[in-house]
Chain A
Amino acid sequence: MSEKIKEYPGHRIKTADLRAGLVPLIRYKPEAKFAFSAGAAMSRFLEELKNGRILASVCKKCGRIMVPPRTFCEICFKPVDDYTYVKDTGKINTYSVSFIAADASRVKEPTIVAVIELDGASPGMGILHKIGEIDWKEVKFGMRVKAVWKPPEQREGAITDIKYFKPLKEGEE
C-alpha cells in the first residue's frame, strides 16, 4: 500500500455480502472429460491386476526391473520389451497418515498412505498405496507388507483391485 494512503475509502467485503450475492461472481463449471489411453505397457499391467499379479518390465541394458512397467527405460533411453512378475509383498519406504479428507474436513479414521518397495523389483521401484489392518501408530519404516486383493469377480483392471497392503507378521510371506 502506498505510504500516503492510510485507509482506502468504502467498506470491506464480508463473507455475508458474497453469500447474499452483493458481489458479482460468475460461476462456471468446465466441461472437461478425458479417457486416457493406458498404452502398451500399462494396459498389460492393468490386465494382470485382474489375475492378482503385478507386472514389471525389464531393461536389458541396465537390468532394472521396473514397476509400473514401461515400454522404455528412462535412464538408458532404450526401448523395453521384456516383462516379468514381481511379488505382491514388499516393505514400506515412506508413509504418512492423513487425518484430513479430500474436502478438508477432519476424519475419525485416518488413511495411511505409503510407498512400498515391492519384492523382486529394483530399488526405487514399487507402488504407492494404502496401508490397512493396523493402527497408524504401529507403522514403521521398512515394515513388511502384503497386498490385500479384491475377490477376483470384483476386479476391474484398476489399481484399486488391490484394496490396501496389510502388515506381514514375522516369518509370514
Chain B
Amino acid sequence: MKDVAVVGVGCVGFRPVTPELSYKELMFEAAMRAYEDAGVNPRKDIDAFITCAEDYWEGFSIFDEFVPDQLGAVLKHLFTVSADGLFGLITAYMLIKTGHFDIVAVEAHSKASDILTYEGIVNFAFDPIFNRPLGGHPYYVAGMEMNRYLCETGTTLEQCAMVAVKNKRNALANPHACYGANITVKDVLCSECQFYPLKKLEISPLSDGCIVTVLASEDVATKLTDKPVWIRGVGWCTETPCLETRDWGRAVYTELAAEMAYKTAGIKNPVKEIDFAEVCDMFAYKELQHLEALKLCRRGEAGNLVEEGVTQRDGELPVNPSGGMLGMGYALEASGLQRVLEAVLQLRGEAGKRQLPEVETGVVQTWRGIPTATGAVVVLSK
C-alpha cells in the first residue's frame, strides 16, 4: 500500500477572540493558505474534504452543511468527523490508503469566543442521570485526575508547574500562539487554586483559530512538494465514559493509541526513534501523563524530565516547542491539528525562531478533553 503525506498546512490564529471574522471567513483564510502551501486548486484537485466539528461547540445542528463554501467543497465530497482534528487527519489517511482518493483536505477550527456558556456545553457531555445533576464547573474532573496521577506517580506540584512555565515560554517564539509569557514556577503555584490541586495558570485558556491540512498519496505528494511529511503511523482509543470506572492515574487511552501508532510505524523503541513530541497539555499535568503513555519515559518519570530540562526546546526530547495548548490556547477540535501544524513546520525546517535542529521523526498526540477518555496518536517523519 502506498504511503500518505501531509503536503500543505494553513493556519489562522490563534487568538483569544476574533469578533471581526465569522467562522466561515476564518475557515476560508486557513483553507486558502493550506491550498497555496500545497499548490492545489480545491475546485479541481481535491478529492474529498473532512471537517472536524461538534455541533454543540458550533451552535448549529448538522454543522457540516455549513462548511462546503469556505473550503472550496461545493458539490464535492465532504463529511464531518465529529471529533478532534487529529481523528479527521487519521480518517483522511485511511481514505487515501483505500486507493480511491489522492488528495484529501482536513479542517478543524475553534470559534470558542462565540460560545457564551462554555461550562454549560461541557456539562452537557456528562452522564445526565448519574453525574450531571451534581452540577458545578466540569473542570473538577481534571482536578481529580491530577490528584490521582500525582498520588500514584509521586510527581510533584512544582514539576506540573514547570510544564506551564516551559510551554508559555515556548509560545513566545510562536507567532500562532497568543498566550506566551515569561513566568516562574512560583507564579504558577501562587496562581488561584481552581480545582485542587490544579492552579489557574496550569489550565489552557480558550482560543479561536482554524487549521487546514492537505494530505496526498505517495505519487502525488512527491510531485507536489520536495518536503512531504510522511504519516508513518496512526492510532486512537477510547476508554469507558464511566467516570467511576476509568483509570484515573494513567492515560490508558493514549497508551493503547500509541501502541497502535508505533506498530503501524514500525517503531520499537520510541525513546530512541522519536526526536520531539507535540502532546495535549490542556492541563499542565496532562503533558506529563501523556509523555508516559507515549512511552517516551517510564511511568512516573515525566516530572523528572521537565525538571531536568530534557523537554525544553534545547533538551534531548523537546516537548511542545509550539507552546502547546497552554501557549496556543485550547482551540476545541482544532487542538490536535495545532500539534500537527507544529510537527510539520519542524520537520520541514520552517519553524523559524523555534526550529529544532536535526529532527527526523515527531509524535503528535491529542485528547478530547473533559470529560472524555479518548485520544489519538500520529507519528510523522521527514
Contacts and interface: CB of A to CB of B under 8 A. Distances in A.
Interface of A: 26, 28, 30-42, 70-72, 74-77, 79
A39 to B, nearest CB: 3
B114 A34 contact: yes
Contacts of A72: 25, 28, 32, 69-70
B72 interface: yes
Given A32-B56, A34-B59, A77 B116 contact: no
29 contacts: A26-B133, A30-B120, A30-B123, A30-B124, A31-B123, A32-B56, A32-B124, A33-B116, A33-B117, A34-B59, A34-B114, A34-B116, A36-B23, A37-B19, A37-B20, A37-B21, A37-B22, A37-B113, A37-B114, A40-B21, A42-B22, A71-B28, A72-B28, A74-B72, A75-B43, A77-B35, A77-B41, A77-B43, A79-B32
B119 interface: yes
Nearest to B26: A39
A30 B123 CA distance: 8
Interface residues of B, number: 36
Contacts of A40: 20-22, 25
B59 A32 contact: yes
A32 B132 contact: no
Contacts of B43: 75-77
B111 interface: yes
B69 A70 contact: yes
A46 B59 CA distance: 20
Indicate the member of B19, B25, B68 with the most A CB atoms within 10 Å: B25
Nearest to B75: A75
A122 to B, nearest CB: 15
Contacts of A70: 24, 69
Given A72-B28, A77-B41, A77-B72, A32 B21 contact: no
B264 interface: no
B125 to A, nearest CB: 10
Contacts of B121: 30-32
A77 B115 contact: no
Contacts of B41: 77
Given A26-B133, A30-B124, A37 B23 contact: yes
Nearest to A72: B28
Contacts of B117: 31-33
B151 interface: no
Contacts of A35: 114, 116
Interface string B129-146: 100110000000000000
A41 B22 CA distance: 9
Contacts of B56: 32
A74 B59 contact: no
Contacts of B23: 36-37, 39
B327 interface: no
Contacts of A74: 68-70, 72, 74
A37 B26 CA distance: 11
Contacts of A37: 18-23, 111, 113-114
Contacts of A36: 22-23, 59, 114
B321 interface: no
A31 B133 contact: no
B42 interface: yes
Nearest to A71: B25
Contacts of A31: 117, 119-121, 123-124
Given A32-B56, A32-B59, A39 B24 contact: yes
Nearest to A42: B22
Interface in B24-70: 24-25, 28, 32, 35, 41-43, 56, 59, 68-70
Contacts of A39: 20-25
Nearest to A79: B32
A75 B74 contact: yes
B222 to A, nearest CB: 25
B120 A32 contact: yes
Indicate the member of B18, B28, B59, B114 with the most A CB atoms within 10 Å: B28
B99 interface: no
B144 to A, nearest CB: 22
A107 B162 CA distance: 64
A42 B22 CA distance: 9
B59 A28 contact: no
B70 A38 contact: no
B214 to A, nearest CB: 14
B266 interface: no
B113 to A, nearest CB: 8
Given A28-B128, A31-B123, A40-B21, 17 more contacts: A30-B120, A30-B123, A31-B124, A34-B114, A36-B23, A37-B18, A37-B20, A37-B23, A37-B113, A39-B21, A39-B24, A70-B69, A71-B28, A74-B74, A75-B43, A77-B32, A77-B43
A79 B31 CA distance: 11
